[in-house]
Structures are given as structure tokens and as C-alpha cells.
Structure 1
Amino acid sequence: MLISGASGFLGSALVRSFTGAGFAVRALVRRESPRQNLSGTGAEVVEGDLNDAASLRAAVSGMRYLVHAAADYRLWTREPAALLRTNVEGTRAIMRAAAEGGVERIVYTSSVAVLKPSQAEPSDETATVEAHAAVGIYKRSKVLAEEAVRALADDGLPVVIANPSTPIGPRDIRPTPTGRIIVEAAAGRMPAYVDTGLNLVHVDDVAEGHLLALRHGRIGERYILGGENVALSDMLAEIARQLGRRPPRVKLPVGAVMPLAAAAEAMSRFTGKEPFVSFDALRMARQRMFFDDTKARRDLGYRSRPWQEAVGDALAWFRAAGMIA
């Protein structure tokens, strides 16, 4: 089977999950991607790029299954058109390559970013957001990419859609936006917080959820792969507890952080590095991003461990990687 985005945070967890289940895995990575997350997995590593259709056709050749997890996951970029091209056109290209190559079954890694948060209760798979209403370029790209996948499913592509919530845990090499929160909080660089919330899940549980989706998911259906709904203040308090430190006590309104986002984005336009806080991230924070994964638990047999354990595994990995003291 082929796993795209295999050297990344979720991708490397997928490789471990599927090889552990006895699958022979071909890991698709970009030429410039670091490979340490794949060390010891036994996966066959091949190079390719979502923007290179020929490399995708070569990668899927002879494969029975595909898990497409590759994506440009950034909440801010100087080149939004490039992110859209990778996440939307790249997804369409690898799906077409899989169809032409006769792949029997596909799991597409979407995101809860395609779902509309609700203030009343956690959102489920029915809470679809329209692309024009999605906050930020990343969410918009995931909405458009899933729409493309659904259109291909309607034409007979054998694809199941997985919608992870907010994975945390080991091997967050980049790190992801949520991983950066953990690193900054662990380093004592988050003296305040905004009133928001996330659905936190261990990355390895999300990977196992993909395996279950491959085996038991219904073609064309989406499944939220989540964990527990956690206030950001509780997440920061747990990080502090595990490190023996005091948690931040100052709660700020989102509007009060906007000037910091303006300064951070201005600096990022100069340096090219993703800002720790951006306008889009703050717009997202106006609503608690809470989700209900009952469908995956009921239909796939999906399970997740306590979110505190995921925080602990993330902290241990970041410490071992030298990213926190």
C-alpha cells in the first residue's frame, strides 16, 4: 500500500500503524523532506510530489491501497496560491492516479477544518462548512480538497474520508501549530491565553482510526477521528502540571491579541517563517473547536486514549528532540 506524506507527523504514525498491522508500506515523501521519522519502520521510501503527476503515477503503480495524508498544513503563508495548489490540485491528481492505477480502496485524510464549529454542542460529520465561509487559506483548501474527493467518489472512486481533529504526540518534527503551542507553553513563553478550546487526540490513535477506516469504512462517508474536547486553559494547565510549573492565569479577549498578530505577520512577511499567532488563528479561536466522533466509534470500532497521555507523549518527544528543556 502507498501512504503519502509519510515522513510527517501524522504520516509517520500511519506508517507505523499499517506496518504493525502487517501491511507492506510504500512511503511517498518529497525529495527535501527529512526522513528520520521513518527510521526503523521497514517502509519502502519513494520520492514524489503532489505537484508532479508523473511521480504520483509511478508511486501508486502496483498498489492495492492508498492513504493520502500529504498536505501543506500551515495557518499562514506568504504564498496562499501554492498551498491551495498542493492541497486541492495535488489531492485531485493523486486520486486520479490511484483511479487510473486500479487502486482498490483509498482513505483520504481530510480534517475537521471542513466542519462548522457550533457554540451549542460539539459538531459532527453533518456540519459541513462552505468554502467561502471557511476561516483562512488552510481551512478553505481542505474544504475544496474534500469537495474534489467527494465528486470523484460519486463517479466511483473507492474512497473513505477520515477527518482528524487535533492530533498531538510524538514525532511532531515541524512542529504543527498545536505542537508549537505545547513547545511554547513548556518553555514558559505563554503567560496568557484566549478563551477557546480544541478536540485533542493522540496521533497514534488517529493513525489506528485510518486503519479501521480502510477496513470498515463505507465508501464516500466521512468519519471524525477525535479524542476529547478540552479548553485551551485546561491544556495549558496540564502541560504545566506535568512539568511542575505554574500555569498561565491571564485570560485575554481575542481582540486584545490582534495587535500582536499584526506584528507577527509583518515580521513573517519579511522572514518567511510562520508566525506563532496570526489573524486567521485568532479568528478560529473565537469559537471552541469541539467535535463529536460517535460515528467512528460506533461504525468503525474507533477508540482514543486520554488526552493527558497524548500531552505527556508530546512533551517527552519534544524534550528528547531538544525542543524544550
Structure 2
Amino acid sequence: MTTRAFVTGGTGFIGANLIRLLLDKGYSVRTLVRSNSSSNNLQGLELEIVRGDLNDPDLYRQMRGCQVLFHVAARYSLWQADREKLYESNVLGTRNVLAAARMAKIERTVYTSSVAAIGVGRVGEAVDETHQSPVKQLVGHYKKSKYFAEQEAVKAARMGQDVVIVNPSAPIGPWDIKPTPTGDIILRFLRRQMPAYVNTGLNFIDVRDVAQGHWLALEKGVSGDRYILGHQNLSLRELLEQLAAITGLDAPQNIVPLWLPLTVAWVEERVLAPFGKSPSVPLDGVRMSKQPMYYDASKAVRELNLPQSPLDRALKEAVEWFVSRRYL
């Protein structure tokens, strides 16, 4: 009997790659798409699309007949003005999705959290799933909303619901339609819009490995546990040098002192935005870059057999995808 999976966030970067993996593995897929959202990332795929919202009171009706749930959907924004929408979608939406799963008798749920919910350790330290920064130290409402959303999954698991939590780091690869912050770095590099860079770092992973990690969490994960889906810790300079090697374009050589983008972001969000000017640099994004965000994914590698595909291949395919879709 074919397993039917219900997927939220299927039109996004991780969701689109996850759905392709599930279809390849023989799953029947039903995905929730907001009424005003494009389904371009899913064109040509044999799946069922249902229209609705994470906070719909009758969401359980859309899930009926499915055995497993991947709750991937989340609102991402670093703008101060979006904080209410972040909590509404990420926290209340997750609470409602988990309640709907119980009503629809979903057998197992994989909830997509983020390393953002974990926080960071000391400067340059790679932290694992046992680490948790105090909520007040999480920079910005996006990170705080993902922390509180993850707590909804933890509570559900403690009450007996079968929920496994995965925490992706920064994915790289095709189908980055928006694009994500990592995709934006790649695009700005390709467009020659990055004359300098901030001295920071991130943990990166091939988005196909993230999708595989979701499926492996469904198959092998322990309910209530969280698993970091990550691979390689790189400074932003190291990432740009890899892009330079792939494309033949020169990597920027100059480091921007942090006070400069902090000042620009503060003026734009706090002074100019109330007068109708759209800010170009999110203040929370600059604050996050003050410290490298490094993670240790050895638990997922050990317990789930999470793949660790070469990042240069993921970067090359991301570049090719953006170029083929005329993002430049």
C-alpha cells in the first residue's frame, strides 16, 4: 500500500526538493499551498495540491487519508515590521498543524525547525543539539519564533504525539525560488553586487541532503529528539572563494567593518521606514553576522546516516539553476 505524505511548505526551497525525493521513493504526496502562492516550483510533478493556510481551523480535513506529515512551512523575515506575522505563522501555525495532525490520525510527523532555534555558542564554536541559547539571546523575532515553534513540537511529543524535529542549517542547491539568504549571497556574487563582505560564517549543506535528512528522520528518528541537518562550517570568505573557483569570477577581497552595515540598517529600519522608505538591509540580519553560526551535525550523521555531499557540487548546481532561470 502506497504511503501518502502531507507536506506543508512544498512550494519553497526545502519543500520542493523534499517532494521530489518522496515521489522518487514511491510516496503519494498531497501538499498545502496558500491561495495566493505560486506553485511554479511544483510544475510537472504528479501530486495533489490543496489550497489553505496553516491556521485554518479545518486543516485536519485536508490531511485525512495521509499517514505521515512533513511540516516544512515557515515564514522567514528579518524585518522588524514582520514580527507579528512571524509568530502567527511559525508558532500559532505550528500549533494548529500539530493539532490537525492529531485529529487526522497522522501516524508520524517530521517538523522542520532550524538551527536558528538552537542559537550559537562561543565565537567560532560549533554547537550540537544539546546546546540551547537563552531565548533573550536569540537575535531577532525570526529566531525567537522558530524557538517557540519548536517548543510546540516538543510539547506535542511529550504528550504522546509522534513528532521528530529536524534543524537544517543553510541549504544550497536548485529550486531556491525566492531566493533564501544563502541563495541571495550566490546571486549577489554572480551579479557582481558584492564588492566587500562581512567577516562571518555559516554551516552549509546540499539541499538534497536536507531533503534526505527529512526522510531519514521519518524512518529512523526518535520522537521528541532534534537532529541538526548540516555539513560544513565555512567562513563567508571561504564560500565566496569556492564560488570564484566555480565561476571564474573574482571573489571580493575587502572586509566591511560591522559598524557600517549596522548604522545603515538602523537608519533605514528605525528612521526612514516609518516614512515609507523600504529598507534594503535588515538590522537583525546584520546583528546575526556579528558571530559565526557554526554547528555540529554528527548526531544526524551517526543516527540517521545523513549524507554529506560535496558543497562545491551543490554550489555549482545552484549557480546553474539560477542562470538557467534567468535570475541574472
Q: TM-score range by the shorter chain?
A: over 0.9
Q: 1:101 aligns with which of 91, 97, 104?
A: 104
Superposition map of 1:13-162 within 5 A: 13-54=17-58, 56-118=59-121, 119-162=123-166
Superposition map of 1:298-317 within 5 A: 298-317=302-321
Contact 1:5 1:11 survives alignment (8 Å): yes
Do structure 1's residue 202 and structure 2's residue 206 form an aligned pair? yes
Alpha-carbon distance change, 264 to 21 in structure 1, aligned in 2, over 3 angstroms: farther
The Cα shift of 1:295 comes to 0.3
Separation in 2, partners of 1:297, 1:21: 21
The Cα shift of 1:128 comes to 1.3
Q: What are the Cα deviations for residues 273-302 of structure 1, in whole angstroms up to 9, with x where unaligned? A: 6x5532111111111111000000000111
Q: Report SS of the residue matched to 1:85.
A: helix
Separation in 1, partners of 2:323, 2:159: 47
Q: Report SS of the residue matched to 2:44.
A: coil
What fraction of aligned residue pairs are identical, expressed as a percent?
42
Give the residue type in structure 2 aligned to 1:201. I
Give the residue type in structure 2 aligned to 1:177. P
The Cα shift of 1:263 comes to 4.7
Do structure 1's residue 244 and structure 2's residue 269 form an aligned pair? no
Q: 1:257 aligns with which of 245, 261, 266?
A: 261
The Cα shift of 1:264 comes to 4.6
The Cα shift of 1:177 comes to 1.5
Unaligned 5+ runs, structure 1: none
- Aligned residue pairs total 322
Give the residue type in structure 1 aligned to 2:134. E
The root-mean-square deviation of aligned C-alpha atoms, in Å, is 1.6
Give the residue type in structure 1 aligned to 2:112. T
The Cα shift of 1:304 comes to 2.0
Separation in 1, partners of 2:192, 2:273: 22
The Cα shift of 1:259 comes to 2.3
Contact 1:129 1:143 survives alignment (8 Å): no
Separation in 1, partners of 2:257, 2:322: 29
The Cα shift of 1:267 comes to 6.0
Contact 2:124 2:294 survives alignment (8 Å): no
Contact 1:264 1:276 survives alignment (8 Å): yes
Unaligned 5+ runs, structure 2: none
TM-score using structure 1 length: 0.95
Contact 1:13 1:203 survives alignment (8 Å): yes
Contact 1:228 1:306 survives alignment (8 Å): no
Alpha-carbon distance change, 62 to 271 in structure 1, aligned in 2, over 3 angstroms: farther
